[in-house]
Chain A
């Protein structure tokens, strides 16, 4: 479903991604871990075209992105990918001028052109699913961080995405709120939602992931099922990282 080959991304002279290759299958929960500055977030943002790639290729759901596409064609493909790929940000990025319900309705109504009534019913169901049915008319700033992030997940789900990208979804939250959000994500995983998660929450990675990728200095240092990566790491980099993360 996602197939990344030799992905290179530079910020100015600095090479942030130095040839990343990995695959994600339908129904996978792929967790990306690794020390800060390893290129995890940049990698995630390349997957839905928020960052342009410098070389290599990304195939998402049958649409391929690579460097050097004509701008128009690139724009078309990026839009196509985004229509099927949701994203959840570390800082939530809810739309502050809209109520919770409007946040969730916005894209289905204005991008997918769904009838507002139908979209509203679905949005209410999604709020139920993330445990916030009473907050439909609240404004984002009236919600706690954990609640905002759950709304952000509902907002992503409203587009019926094939894949959801999570960019450190709990890094801005305290432990209690982190728990709320991770439990929603765990439910999603158990329902078979394909997810790519960049996180520092090792417990979540251990319990929920079926594939863990360790990023280090712009490369995938090690990939494998969680029990292998966490239980019997093959690379020094992984061991070092796990030792640091345990502290």
Chain B
């Protein structure tokens, strides 16, 4: 994405009178989150840090510079940096050799550690981290693509990893019993701990890592200016004051090794097709299998439900017909993602506890049943009224006439629309990643997160896999259509 030779962004920042920093408010406290007192404002230690950096840069460069916030999805921040829409990524991004390959990193502004959290009184965790060594296969929730995920995967292969989009959902699921434990960055554990009184820290903080600011590789002078600003703030005690405000100051913040960058030991390994496939092939095929499985199980259910709803609306008694109309409107009028959230996170409160796969199937089937119902309603109405009359005149009951005469014709009419929906559902399975199902899109996001240098080939492979799965479906449905229309 390196465009034509451009001046260091630092010059632009001086000209504009400010830098744009990217972060995700949804990631929550203590990093950046809506101010409880005024949700239109943002607060968090990174908000304070950005402001302190702007003030420090103003002082050292002698020109007014302000911090401008840009909201973006957390895992997409590096892409946004690359396109030039933000000048720096400042949002709990840990330094990693892979990231250092594609972005330039400042010195660490915070040293985090990983904290294991379990339910209070859960004896299995008396030994702290060692509980994860087995033999019991414990379920551990982590933020997808995070250092915590890598740490558990590498050190505790006996644990069953569940990958989450947000932090508090995993903590909540430990409370509910869906997970046995969760591993969180210490700031998160410290900040949200009070909201989950049922959780306790298990073992000591472990695996320290460095939160750094990332800038574009070519912005060497901007990086240096930020480095100087961070060091100045640290020397003056300003960092300690900010972190103290959020209860996340720890002793390791003074560790001379941890507060500087490790030597860049990584030599960029050449990217070969064989190496790429060996690294990602299995996980991507598994994820694609999950995508197919979700589609193949949900769609028939959606069609069946849809037909029943359509029949009820058209031929049922009036109260039923009205109730079903409301069903269709409610489901069409709210996002699938919200419905999945409700099924996965709210239903358990009512005693309905579904695992992620079952919840996904239910969500997809119910959501799409609303669309199928409308398609079938239109299809049933498109069958000439004379067909029903001819069937009735031959002595058939209404039910038999529907089953033998009207529905088979409606099915032929709606095939193109249903196929279309099947392909849409097939792609919508990616939404299920919000409730910890790892399907193809989620797998891509995870891989892109851990291997930022391979984003392009990963995206291409993901796209090809989707196409390879949906195209046969199109061909199949075209054949069906031709066959049914004789």
Interface assignment of B83: CB less than 8 Å from any CB of chain A? no
Neighbour of A107 across the interface among B386, B389, B396, B408, CB < 8 A? B396
Listed stretches B92-100, B276-284, B334-342, B397-405; interface member: B397-405
Neighbour of B392 across the interface among A82, A96, A155, A156, CB < 8 A? A82
Please judge, given known A-B contacts A93-B387, A93-B390, A95-B387, whether A79 and B395 are in contact too, CB under 8 Å: yes
Chain B, range 364-399, C-beta contacts under 8 Å to A: 384, 386-387, 389-397
Neighbour of A97 across the interface among B389, B393, B394, B409, CB < 8 A? B409
Interface assignment of B150: CB less than 8 Å from any CB of chain A? no
A83–B389 CA distance with the chains assembled, in angstroms: 14
Residue of A nearest to B385 (CB): A93
The smallest C-beta distance from A131 to any residue of chain B, in angstroms, reads 21
Interface size on A, residues (CB 8 A): 25
Interface assignment of A125: CB less than 8 Å from any CB of chain B? no
A89–B390 CA distance with the chains assembled, in angstroms: 8
Interface size on B, residues (CB 8 A): 19
Interface assignment of B486: CB less than 8 Å from any CB of chain A? yes
Interface assignment of A50: CB less than 8 Å from any CB of chain B? yes
Interface assignment of B479: CB less than 8 Å from any CB of chain A? no
Interface assignment of B412: CB less than 8 Å from any CB of chain A? yes
- Chain A CB count within 10 A is highest, among B386, B393, B486, for B393
Contacts of A156 in B (CB 8 A): 394
- Is there contact, CB below 8 Å, between B394 and A89? no
- Is there contact, CB below 8 Å, between B384 and A93? yes
The smallest C-beta distance from B409 to any residue of chain A, in angstroms, reads 6
A124–B91 CA distance with the chains assembled, in angstroms: 80
Contacts of B390 in A (CB 8 A): 87, 89, 93-95
Interface assignment of A145: CB less than 8 Å from any CB of chain B? no
- Is there contact, CB below 8 Å, between B395 and A82? yes
Chain A, range 29-58, C-beta contacts under 8 Å to B: 48-50
Neighbour of A93 across the interface among B386, B404, B486, CB < 8 A? B386
Neighbour of A48 across the interface among B393, B397, B400, B409, CB < 8 A? B393
- Is there contact, CB below 8 Å, between A106 and B387? no
The smallest C-beta distance from B152 to any residue of chain A, in angstroms, reads 57
Please judge, given known A-B contacts A93-B390, A96-B409, A139-B486, whether A111 and B384 are in contact too, CB under 8 Å: no
Interface assignment of A159: CB less than 8 Å from any CB of chain B? yes
Contacts of B395 in A (CB 8 A): 79, 82-83, 107, 111-112, 159
A96–B396 CA distance with the chains assembled, in angstroms: 17
Interface assignment of A64: CB less than 8 Å from any CB of chain B? no
Contacts of A82 in B (CB 8 A): 392-395
The smallest C-beta distance from B390 to any residue of chain A, in angstroms, reads 4
Interface assignment of A91: CB less than 8 Å from any CB of chain B? yes
Please judge, given known A-B contacts A79-B397, A91-B386, A93-B384, whether A50 and B404 are in contact too, CB under 8 Å: no
Neighbour of B400 across the interface among A50, A110, A112, CB < 8 A? A110
Please judge, given known A-B contacts A97-B409, A139-B486, whether A87 and B404 are in contact too, CB under 8 Å: no
- Is there contact, CB below 8 Å, between B389 and A110? no
Interface assignment of A86: CB less than 8 Å from any CB of chain B? yes
| A135-164 interface code vs B (CB 8 A; 1 in, 0 out) | 000010000000000000001100100000
Neighbour of A95 across the interface among B392, B400, B405, B486, CB < 8 A? B405
The smallest C-beta distance from A85 to any residue of chain B, in angstroms, reads 8
Contacts of A111 in B (CB 8 A): 394-396, 400
A79–B398 CA distance with the chains assembled, in angstroms: 10
Chain B, range 203-241, C-beta contacts under 8 Å to A: none
Please judge, given known A-B contacts A111-B400, A139-B486, whether A87 and B386 are in contact too, CB under 8 Å: no
- Is there contact, CB below 8 Å, between A155 and B394? yes
- Is there contact, CB below 8 Å, between A159 and B394? yes
Please judge, given known A-B contacts A82-B395, A155-B394, whether A97 and B412 are in contact too, CB under 8 Å: yes
The smallest C-beta distance from B313 to any residue of chain A, in angstroms, reads 20
- Is there contact, CB below 8 Å, between A50 and B392? yes
The smallest C-beta distance from A83 to any residue of chain B, in angstroms, reads 5
Residue of A nearest to B397 (CB): A79
The smallest C-beta distance from A79 to any residue of chain B, in angstroms, reads 7
A56–B58 CA distance with the chains assembled, in angstroms: 97
- Is there contact, CB below 8 Å, between B384 and A107? no
| A45-89 interface code vs B (CB 8 A; 1 in, 0 out) | 000111000000000000000000000000000010011011101
5 residue pairs, one from A and one from B, having the closest CB atoms: A93-B390, A107-B394, A87-B393, A93-B386, A82-B395
Residues of A participating in the B interface, judged by any CB pair closer than 8 Å: 48-50, 79, 82-83, 85-87, 89, 91, 93-97, 106-107, 110-112, 139, 155-156, 159
A–B Cβ pairs within 8 angstroms, 9 of them: A82-B392, A87-B390, A91-B384, A94-B390, A95-B387, A95-B405, A107-B396, A110-B396, A112-B395
Residues of B participating in the A interface, judged by any CB pair closer than 8 Å: 384, 386-387, 389-397, 400, 404-405, 408-409, 412, 486
